[in-house]
Amino acid sequence: MPEDEFVYDPFSLAVRDNPYLLYRRLRKDYPLYRSATYDFWALSRFDDVQLASRTWRVFSSAQGVDIDHSGEAIYGPGDLGNFIDSDPPIHTAFRKILQREFLPAQLAKALRPQVDKVVRTLLDALQDHDEVDLIADFAWVLPTTVMWTWLGCPESDFPLLRELLRRVKFRELGVPNLTAIASLAIIDLREYMRGLIATRYDRPTTDLISFLLHDRGGIGIPEPDRLEITLNMSMLLIDAGTGTTAALLGNALHLLGDKMTQRQELLANPQKVNAAVEEAIRLESPVQHNMRTTTEAIDLHGQHLSAGSRILLVFGAANRDERRWQDAEAFDINRPSLPHLGFGQGIHLCLGAPLARLEATAALSEFLRRFPDYQLRNTAVRLPNLDRGFLSLPALLR
C-alpha cells in the first residue's frame, strides 16, 4: 500500500476528535511513519515506544518534547529548571529537587487531606443542581485549586489564573505552533508568577514556591539563577500538574458514562477505583505523544535514520496495541494489570503521576458515591489543543 494514501496529521480535526482508527493503521501498516509535512518519524507500537522512552542516550529530550515547540516558551530552557526538555546530568539534578515531594507516601501525607476537602467542597456545590459541566465545575477546578494552593497563590487570584491557563493551552487546528492567544497568556502568567516568587525571598512560607526558591531540595542552586529556575519549575508544575489530571478525570467519567455494569461494580467494590483510573489513563492517555531527537544514526523497521532525526512517540497508539492487550480498545476495569505508557517510562516518567492518580482516585470515588446515576449529555466538547480530554462535559446528576 503506497504511503501517500495514508496521512497521519496530529494537528488535524480527525485526530483531535477520534485518533484511534488512524492509530490502528499506524500500528498495523506504518510502525515507523514518516511525516514530511512536519519533519518527524512516528513510532506507534508499544514495544517500540517503550524502548525509545527508556533509551534516553539515543532518544534525547534535550531538543524539546512538545510537537508544537511550546515547551521552552512555557517552561524556559532546560538548563534553567525545565527538566522535561533536558537529559542527564541536568535532568537528574533538577528532577531531584522535587523528587521527594512527589513520592506517593509524601503526597498522601501532605496533600491527601486537602484533596479530599476540595473534592467534598466541589461536590457539595453540585448537590442542588440537576445539570452540571463535569469539567468546568469539577475536573478542571480540582487540580488547579490543589496546585495553586500548594504553590502559595492567593485564592482570590484563582479565577484569573484559570483563565490565563486556559489561554496558554489554546491551539488552532492545523497550526503546528503556538497561537497568539497562547503566547500572550504565557507572558502574562510568567509575569504573575515572577511577581509572586519575588515576595518569597524575604518572607518564605511553607508553600512549594518557597521550597523551590530557598533550595530546600539541597542541590545548590546558584543565586543568580534562583528566581528563574523557581519560575520555570513553577510553570512546569502549573501546566503539567493541572491539565493532565483534569483530562484524566474527565476521561474516566466519560468512559464510565454508558457502562452501568462497571459503574455498579465500582460502587460495590471501591478498591477497584484504582484499576479504573489506570484503565482510563491507558485507554485515553491525556498526553498522546512526546517528541525525541536521535543522538546517533539508528535503524528502525528497515529504515536508516540519521542523527538529529525527530521521533514522535505516540503513547495514545502504543497504549492500545493489540500485541500487548487483549481487546485493547475496550474499557475494562477488570483487565489484568500491565504497565502502560500513559505517564511515559524511563527517566522521564511523569514526576506528577502519583499526584494525578491521588486526585483522580479520590475524586472518582466520591463522585460515584454521591451521583451513581449520572447521565452524560451528547454535547461534550473536546479540548482545543493536543491533549486528549474535554473542554466541556455536560451531565445530568439525577
Which CA distances in Å does 232 have to 77, 146, 170, 187, 377? 8, 19, 20, 12, 39
Q: Region 248-266: what's the mean pLDDT?
A: 96
The CA distance from 381 to 319, in Å, is 23
Q: Are 235 and 209 in contact (CB under 8 A)?
A: no
Q: Give the pLDDT band of residue 175 (cuts 50, 70, 90).
A: confident
Cα 206 from Cα 93, distance rounded (Å): 22
pLDDT tens, 24-79? 999 999 999 999 999 999 999 999 999 999 999 999 999 999 998 888 999 999 99
pLDDT band at 154 (very low <50, low <70, confident <90, very high): very high
Report how many domains make up the chain: 1
Structural domain range at position 272: 3-396
Farthest-apart Cα atoms in the chain, separation:
66
The amino acid sitting at 277 is V
CATH of the domain at 192: 1.10.630.10
Does the pLDDT at position 4 exceed 90? no
Instruction: Tell me, letter by letter, the H, E, C secondary structure of 334-349.
Output: CCCCCCCCCCCCHHHC
pLDDT for the residue 307: 98
Q: 88-117: per-residue pLDDT in tens?
A: 999 999 999 898 899 999 999 999 999 999
